[in-house]
Amino acid sequence: MFSDIGAPGLILLAILALLLFGPNKLPQLGRAAGRTLREFKEGTKGILSDDHAETVSKQDEKRAE
């Protein structure tokens, strides 16, 4: 997905972000993005562990029969 951007493209995106948001707002945006990703990871871990637990319990029920 991002393999086509390259270093010059990333530098251009960084400059655009600085121009749009300013140097004072960027750290706040970075923290907010980090918190969002952390919450998303925690949510998906919960979903995946629930699915895994259901699968294991179904397999155990089949073995007991």
* Per-residue pLDDT tens over the stretch 8-22: 898 999 899 889 988
Query: pLDDT tier at 49 (50, 70, 90 boundaries)?
Result: confident
Q: What is the pTM of this model?
A: 0.50
Q: What's the rounded Cα separation, in Å, for the pair 23 and 46?
A: 36
Three-class SS of residue 30? Answer: helix
Three-class SS of residue 4? Answer: coil
- Residue 59 belongs to some domain of the structure: yes
- Residue 44 belongs to some domain of the structure: yes
pLDDT, mean of residues 20-49: 88
Q: What's the rounded Cα separation, in Å, for the pair 8 and 3?
A: 12
- Residue 17 belongs to some domain of the structure: no
- Residue 6 belongs to some domain of the structure: no
Contact status, residue 17 vs residue 26, Cβ threshold 8 Å: yes
* N-term to C-term CA, the chain: 47
Mean pLDDT score across all residues of the chain: 81
Range of the domain at 29: 25-65
Q: What's the rounded Cα separation, in Å, for the pair 49 and 42?
A: 11
**Number of structural domains in the chain:** 1
